[in-house]
Amino acid sequence: MRIAVGSDHAGFALKEALVAHLVGSGHEVVDLGTTGSAPVDYPHYGAVVGRAVVGGEAELGVCCCGTGIGISIAANKVAGVRAAVVHDVTSAHLARAHNDANVVCFGARVIGEAVATDALEAFLGAAFAGGRHQRRIDQIAALECAGAEPEEVRA
């Protein structure tokens, strides 16, 4: 699988560890930076990873910053991106299975390398469940395209 990765300075070390894991697992990695621990702004890196995924340069994306929150907000500003901050195997699996997330975000100051690696594997190994979840993904897409208010459906 081809995976785009990016981080700010706070997430750099975790990004490097996850890249090594991905390459060791046979994935092709598109490393979009940053390239060191010098301070940089996370919005750029969230956006470039998001654009790589939506543009077809990569199938999925991985982002890291201090908490995972800022870079996920930036990535989610790219239409078609569904970036999820995850903290464990369960949230990573459900991000793909229920939310069809195509970018996973980690907080290097929040979780350690082992937890992030396990969560990444759960994210990559999960598949979108479709069904009732597809209706919700369609509603999110409508918000992106037209700013339309999704209708409330109770199920």
pLDDT in tens, the chain (155 residues): 999 999 999 999 999 999 999 999 999 999 999 999 999 999 999 999 999 999 999 999 999 999 999 999 999 999 999 999 999 999 999 999 999 999 999 999 999 999 999 999 999 999 999 999 999 999 999 998 865 555 666 55
Q: Is residue 138 part of a domain?
A: no
Which residue is associated with the tokens 């759960």? 122
Q: Is residue 136 part of a domain?
A: no
3-state DSSP call for residue 41? coil
Q: How far apart are CA 143 and CA 149, in angstroms?
A: 7
Domain of residue 33 covers 2-127
Q: Is residue 147 part of a domain?
A: no
Q: Is residue 149 part of a domain?
A: no
Q: How far apart are CA 89 and CA 96, in angstroms?
A: 11
Q: How far apart are CA 80 and CA 102, in angstroms?
A: 9
The domain that holds 45 is classified in CATH as 3.40.1400.10
Q: Is residue 134 part of a domain?
A: no
Residues noted as catalytic: 65, 98
Q: Is residue 30 part of a domain?
A: yes
Count how many domains the chain has. 1
Q: Is residue 12 part of a domain?
A: yes
Q: Is residue 151 part of a domain?
A: no
Cβ distance 85 to 116 under 8 Å?
Answer: no
